[in-house]
Amino acid sequence: MSSPTILSVLRHHGESADPELLAWIKQLLDHILGSSGWVIVAIVGLALVAFPVGLVLFYLSQLRRERANSYQASRDG
């Protein structure tokens, strides 16, 4: 296979992370939200932080509850 043929593959590129597609998505979001990109950055950034923190806090609260129940059950039984 000649290298120009292999490189021709790349010229056909139009995948999901294609710059043209991304430019269009950005244009659409600009149109919906105005041109303040920081709004999107802040919203997504907060969601990204909130999910793991929320999950850990939820798990710890459940763990504490189960330990309290377990302690109560051992006292009762």
Partner 1 sequence: MAGPVKNKPRIFYGWYMVAALMFIALVTTGARNAFGVFVIPMEEEFGWNRTTVTAAGFIGAVVAGVIQPFLGRIFDATGGRKIVILGLIGVGVTLILLSLTFHIIFLVLMFGVFASVSAGGVSINNTSAMLARWFRRRRATVMGMNAAGASLGGMVMVPFAMFLLQATSWRLTWVALGVVILVLAVPLAFFFIRESPAKLGLQPDGDEDPADGSPTGGSQRGPGPLEADRWTQPFRSAPFWQVSLSYMICGSTTYMLSFHFVPYAVDRGVSQTLAATIMGVMLGLNVFGSLGAGLLADRFGRKNLLAVVYLLRGSGYMILILPGILGLTLLSGTFGLWVFALVMGFSWWATLPLTASLTADVYGTRTLGTMSGISFAFHQIGAASSVLFAAILYDITGSYTVPFLAVGLLLFPAAFSAFSVKERKYSSRYVSTPAAGAATGD
Which residue ranges make up the site for partner 1 (CB under 8 A)? 1, 5-26, 29, 37-38, 40-41, 44-45, 47-49, 51-52, 55-56, 59, 62, 65-66, 69-70, 73
Min CB(14)–partner 1 separation in Å: 3
In contact, 9 and 2? CB cutoff 8 Å: no
Min CB(9)–partner 1 separation in Å: 4
Min CB(26)–partner 1 separation in Å: 5
Residue 22, φ and ψ in degrees, nearest 5: -65, -40
What does the buried/exposed string (b/e) look like for 49-62 if buried means 16 or more CB atoms within 10 Å of the residue's CB?
eeeeeeeeeeeeee
